[in-house]
Amino acid sequence: MSIQLINKNKIKADNYITLLMVIFYGLFAFFFHLEALMSVIVYPFGALIAYGALKIISFFNKRRITKRHPVQLLFGIVSIIVSILFIWYILSRPYINPTLIMPLISFPMIIVGFAGIIKGLMIDIYSTKQRIMTVIIGFLTILISFLIFGKIFSDLLFTIIALSLILLINVFSRAALYLSEFGLSIIHLKNLKIFFYIISDYLIYIDRSGNLVLSKV
């Protein structure tokens, strides 16, 4: 009998996160009309950047070189470049000032922080140490993001750098959390490849012999 990666707690956690996103975005749109209107344009292109990055990662993660399609790599690169240029164009308009940009870029990080807390609290197949660390990082992410959202910091460049570092920390924290299910550590950077498999279109489980198996979904 194999131990599957996806279990009921993971599905419940994802459902709670989705519900939280809907509620928070509704509140965001209700209280911040202009920022919410801009987000309809900016956020899809932000998601396209992430999608392009996953396409590039998936390309290099192919276990067989013969299965690597150059079009996939090209699509990922073009998606990232076009999205960054479009977002830069929108946010650099004269009528867009830092007081509008800060809530716009900090709001997604608030969701990231809550997602980390929910996963750390609900999913018990991960190691206790990594769950605690994920919850702590989630709380810190929410705190800093709310300070930026409330325009406590006036320097836009500092804000962007701070949020970028927080995002990077959350990526490594989430990688450590997911890898802990299989007894793997992020200290060994080669294990990051397994993390990229996890967030890509692969089902990962442990077979009856205790071997880690990658299965294309």
Residue 43 CA: distances (Å) to CA of 2, 48, 50, 183, 209? 38, 9, 11, 35, 44
Element (DSSP H or E) covering residue 181: none
In this prediction the pTM is: 0.79
Query: What are the average pLDDT values for consecutive 10-residue runs of the chain, which has 217 residues?
Result: 61 91 90 82 85 78 60 85 87 75 86 93 90 94 88 75 89 90 80 75 65 62
Whether 1 is covered by a domain: the verdict is no
Whether 202 is covered by a domain: the verdict is yes
In this prediction, residue 67 carries a pLDDT of 60
Whether 26 is covered by a domain: the verdict is yes
Whether 88 is covered by a domain: the verdict is no
Whether 25 is covered by a domain: the verdict is yes
In this prediction, residue 215 carries a pLDDT of 63
Whether 79 is covered by a domain: the verdict is no
**Domain span including residue 209:** 8-31+97-216
In this prediction, residue 2 carries a pLDDT of 43
In this prediction, residue 184 carries a pLDDT of 82
